[in-house]
């Protein structure tokens, strides 16, 4: 038990009518008196939902966390928060990341919680819960749900997301039948857990481990591996000590921690979505993290991990090869291993003894999988506030290119026109899609890796430059320039590009240029009219009116910052 009076004692510590109410009603769950003796109250924040299949096993992990909390002398309380499932939510789960973060933040602050374990898995559930906890600045550990077992279909490995793009191209070009396509669904998703490619879920699970917010090995243990349960139990034990030590999330989420995470993102070939999420999390804790940091820190970081979408293997292979600790040990010279983690010890303690068991999966710095890891941040008159590209998922031959813009005013336009045989487009053109940013769609959809026309695919053309203000799934690949800021719907220059304009892309020099005279750009921008709101009331309106641009992490303007946990006001 802690010597310090904990936050929860303001609810449970008083022998008066408020204390009676706080304790008494909790006792209807069968709790003995001594549960209220001042021991740390640990919130187990659960994004479990059957509508988020990737998180549908988290109740079981919550029980393991609770067991650990009990063992260490704490008082566990599990609570649900809004869950965000990538696969079912419309228009897209990203639209609700900030709403879920508000749910997490307000639930922690409103309740007698001294420390929190965040159970997350599917893409947005990790940043949403971390953003909420960061704005409260309570001791926090993340336990990820872990990836699904590798997909296997007709004798070959198939990976979440990545192989969906391939299979649907094969269906579209008549290479496989509908029956084979449907059969692949169950072959791909054959166990509990999140996407088992290095998509956004696995990237974010790696990011929390690299930030020091999760116990070592959190990123890669498969969801159904018993060691995942052990990890949950250990997190339950550890969070109780963190409360006693007053090891708050702000002591872990330093600028150094973010710098380490960005390096690790390069080394694992992580998702472009991590750019937004890390910037948004940093904003919640008062750390100044920018797109320039992403570019600077990723530039000389090779990609070591040979996982889909950029490579060949899947998360199960990654775990057996040594997982994230093996990667961090290999890039130790690029990390600040002294950064403090939830263990109370330096980050390097978590990987000092790591070994790599498969050099096909985790390569070395001397012989990396791809020399260009990291995220390239492009700027220019087409993206004054920046745009991102993932070099490890792009075609080297398109890294410097001048081409004719072929413009789709909206994503619906793209869908309508792309397979029209008479539509004028060549593989050297640059596909530009507008109105897909945070405000535009609304909700910042993952449509940036627009599929190529069927006739190109049939001819064996697999990549073209695509530019948009959209995001791209972490499981996708291609030479796609994303997150153009400001977005078209906010009056960014992307809005005024017309078919026939020439665009220059120069990734080595980080340049994205629309070859038009300044006066012409200004003239066209004068004519631009802001599109109407998607819905003029409700959450959708709040979202469109409050969302920041991609370079600021697409948080809400009024949610940036840490509000801590001021003393509670009594309800009566």
- φ, ψ for residue 187, nearest 5 deg: -75, -30
The answer to the question of residue 316 lying near ligand FES (CB under 6 A) is no
The answer to the question of residue 195 lying near ligand FES (CB under 6 A) is yes
- DSSP summary character for residue 481: E
Judging by beta carbons within 10 Å of its beta carbon (0-12, 13-18, 19+), is residue 205 exposed, middle or buried? buried
The residue range among 194-202, 248-256, 397-405, 486-494 that interacts with Mg ion, by the rule CB under 5 A, is 194-202
- Token match 């009603």: residue? 25
Instruction: Name the residue with the smallest CB distance to Mg ion.
Output: 200
* C-beta of residue 159 within 8 angstroms of C-beta of residue 151: yes
CB 552 to ligand FES: min, Å? 25
Q: Which of 119, 201, 281, 505 binds ligand FES (CB under 6 A)?
A: 201
Among 195, 258, 275, residue whose Cα is nearest residue 471: 275
Residue 213: partners with Cβ closer than 8 Å, 6 or more residues away = 130, 140, 141, 142, 249, 252, 253, 341, 342
* C-beta of residue 130 within 8 angstroms of C-beta of residue 281: yes
Of 266 and 474, CB closest to Mg ion: 474
Look at strands 151-153 and 400-408 and give their pairing.
unpaired
Binding mask 146-165 for ligand FES (x = CB under 6 A): --------------x-----
- Token match 């946990």: residue? 565
The residue range among 163-171, 195-203, 246-254, 454-462 that interacts with ligand FES, by the rule CB under 6 A, is 195-203
The answer to the question of residue 562 lying near ligand FES (CB under 6 A) is no
CA 431 to chain centre: 26
Which of ligand FES, Mg ion, none does residue 440 bind (CB under 5 to 8 Å by kind)? none
Which of ligand FES, Mg ion, none does residue 387 bind (CB under 5 to 8 Å by kind)? none
The residue range among 193-201, 289-297, 511-519, 561-569 that interacts with ligand FES, by the rule CB under 6 A, is 193-201
Identify residues 108-137 at the interface with Mg ion (CB under 5 A).
Answer: 123
Q: Which of 10, 35, 87, 540 binds ligand FES (CB under 6 A)?
A: 87
Which of ligand FES, Mg ion, none does residue 87 bind (CB under 5 to 8 Å by kind)? ligand FES
CA distance 207 to 551: 19
Identify residues 94-133 at the interface with ligand FES (CB under 6 A).
Answer: 122-123
Q: Which of 78, 86, 209, 241 binds ligand FES (CB under 6 A)?
A: 86
The answer to the question of residue 81 lying near ligand FES (CB under 6 A) is no
The answer to the question of residue 199 lying near Mg ion (CB under 5 A) is yes
Kindly state the tokens that stand for 83.
Answer: 């869950």
- Total residues at interface with ligand FES (CB under 6 A): 10
CB 58 to ligand FES: min, Å? 12
- Total residues at interface with Mg ion (CB under 5 A): 6
Q: What is the dihedral of CA 473, 475, 476, 479, to 10 degrees?
A: 100
Among 307, 353, 350, residue whose Cα is nearest residue 212: 350
Among 202, 194, 122, 121, residue whose Cα is nearest residue 151: 194
> Could you tell me how many residues make up the chain?
572
CB 324 to ligand FES: min, Å? 17
Among 455, 334, 478, residue whose Cα is nearest residue 398: 478
* C-beta of residue 512 within 8 angstroms of C-beta of residue 502: no
Of 2 and 160, CB closest to ligand FES: 160
Which of ligand FES, Mg ion, none does residue 315 bind (CB under 5 to 8 Å by kind)? none
The answer to the question of residue 54 lying near ligand FES (CB under 6 A) is yes
The answer to the question of residue 473 lying near Mg ion (CB under 5 A) is yes
The answer to the question of residue 163 lying near Mg ion (CB under 5 A) is no
Sign of the CA dihedral 263, 265, 269, 271? negative
The answer to the question of residue 194 lying near ligand FES (CB under 6 A) is yes
Which of ligand FES, Mg ion, none does residue 122 bind (CB under 5 to 8 Å by kind)? ligand FES
Of 253 and 447, CB closest to Mg ion: 447
Look at strands 511-514 and 75-80 and give their pairing.
unpaired
The answer to the question of residue 197 lying near Mg ion (CB under 5 A) is no
Q: Which residues of 369-407 are buried (b: 16+ CB within 10 A; e: fewer)?
A: bbebbbbbbbbbebbebbbbbbbbbbeeebbebebebbb
The answer to the question of residue 380 lying near ligand FES (CB under 6 A) is no
Identify residues 200-239 at the interface with Mg ion (CB under 5 A).
Answer: 200
Which of ligand FES, Mg ion, none does residue 473 bind (CB under 5 to 8 Å by kind)? Mg ion
Helix axes 255-268, 200-211, angle to 10 degrees: 140
User: Containing H/E element for 379?
Assistant: strand 376-380
The residue range among 191-199, 390-398, 418-426, 561-569 that interacts with ligand FES, by the rule CB under 6 A, is 191-199
Which of Mg ion, ligand FES, none does residue 293 bind (CB under 5 to 8 Å by kind)? none
Among 210, 203, 224, residue whose Cα is nearest residue 316: 224
Residues that bind ligand FES (CB under 6 A): 54, 86-87, 122-123, 160, 194-195, 199, 201
Residues that bind Mg ion (CB under 5 A): 86, 123, 199-200, 473-474
């Amino acid at each position: 038990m802690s010597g310090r009076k904990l936050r929860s004692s303001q609810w449970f510590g008083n022998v008066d009518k408020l204390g009676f109410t706080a304790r008494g009603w909790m006792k209807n769950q069968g709790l003995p008196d001594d549960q209220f003796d001042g021991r740390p109250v640990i919130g187990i924040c659960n994004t479990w939902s059957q509508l988020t299949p990737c998180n549908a096993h988290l109740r079981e992990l919550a029980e393991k966390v609770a067991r650990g909390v009990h063992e260490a002398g704490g008082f566990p309380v599990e609570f649900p928060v809004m869950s965000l499932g990538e696969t079912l939510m419309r228009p897209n789960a990203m639209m609700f990341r900030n709403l879920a973060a508000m749910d997490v933040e307000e639930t922690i602050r409103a309740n007698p919680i001294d420390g929190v374990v965040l159970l997350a898995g599917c893409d947005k559930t990790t940043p949403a819960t971390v953003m909420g906890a960061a704005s409260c600045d309570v001791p926090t550990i993340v336990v990820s749900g872990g990836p699904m077992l590798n997909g296997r279909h007709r004798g070959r490995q198939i990976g979440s997301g990545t192989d969906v793009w391939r299979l649907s191209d094969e269906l579209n070009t008549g290479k496989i039948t509908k029956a084979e396509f449907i059969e692949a669904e169950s072959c791909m998703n054959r166990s509990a857990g999140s996407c088992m490619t290095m998509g956004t879920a696995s990237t974010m699970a790696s990011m929390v481990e690299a930030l020091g917010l999760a116990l070592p090995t959190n990123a890669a243990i498969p969801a159904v591996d018993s060691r995942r349960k052990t990890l949950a139990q250990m997190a339950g034990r550890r969070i109780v000590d963190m409360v006693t030590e007053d090891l708050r999330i702000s002591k872990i989420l330093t600028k150094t921690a973010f710098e380490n995470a960005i390096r690790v993102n390069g080394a694992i070939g992580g998702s472009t979505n991590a750019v937004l999420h890390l910037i948004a999390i940093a904003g919640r804790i008062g750390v100044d993290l920018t797109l320039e940091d992403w570019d600077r820190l990723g530039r000389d970081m090779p990609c070591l991990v040979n996982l889909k979408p950029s490579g060949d293997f899947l998360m199960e292979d990654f775990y057996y090869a040594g997982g994230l600790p093996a990667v961090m040990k290999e890039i130790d010279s690029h990390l600040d291993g002294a950064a403090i983690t939830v263990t109370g010890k330096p980050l390097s303690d978590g990987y000092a003894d790591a070994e790599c068991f498969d050099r096909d999966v985790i390569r070395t710095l001397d012989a990396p999988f791809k020399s260009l890891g990291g995220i390239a941040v492009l700027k220019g008159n087409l993206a004054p506030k920046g745009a991102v590209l993932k070099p490890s998922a792009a075609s080297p031959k398109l890294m410097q290119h001048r081409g004719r813009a072929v413009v789709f005013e909206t994503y619906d336009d793209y869908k309508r026109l792309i397979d029209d045989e008479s539509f004028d487009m060549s593989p050297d053109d640059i596909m530009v899609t507008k109105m897909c940013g945070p405000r535009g769609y609304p909700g910042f959809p993952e449509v940036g890796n627009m599929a190529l026309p069927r006739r190109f695919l049939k001819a064996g053309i697999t990549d073209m430059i695509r530019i948009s203000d959209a995001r791209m799934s972490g499981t996708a690949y291609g030479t796609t320039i994303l997150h153009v800021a400001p977005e078209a719907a906010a009056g960014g220059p992307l809005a005024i590009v017309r078919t026939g304009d020439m665009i220059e892309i120069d990734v080595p020099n980080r340049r994205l240029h629309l070859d038009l005279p300044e006066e012409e750009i200004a003239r066209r921008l004068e004519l631009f009219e802001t599109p109407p709101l998607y819905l003029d009331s409700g959450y959708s309106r709040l979202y469109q009116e409050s969302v920041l641009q991609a370079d600021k992490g697409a948080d809400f303007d009024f949610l940036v910052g840490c509000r801590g946990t001021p003393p509670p006001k009594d309800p009566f």
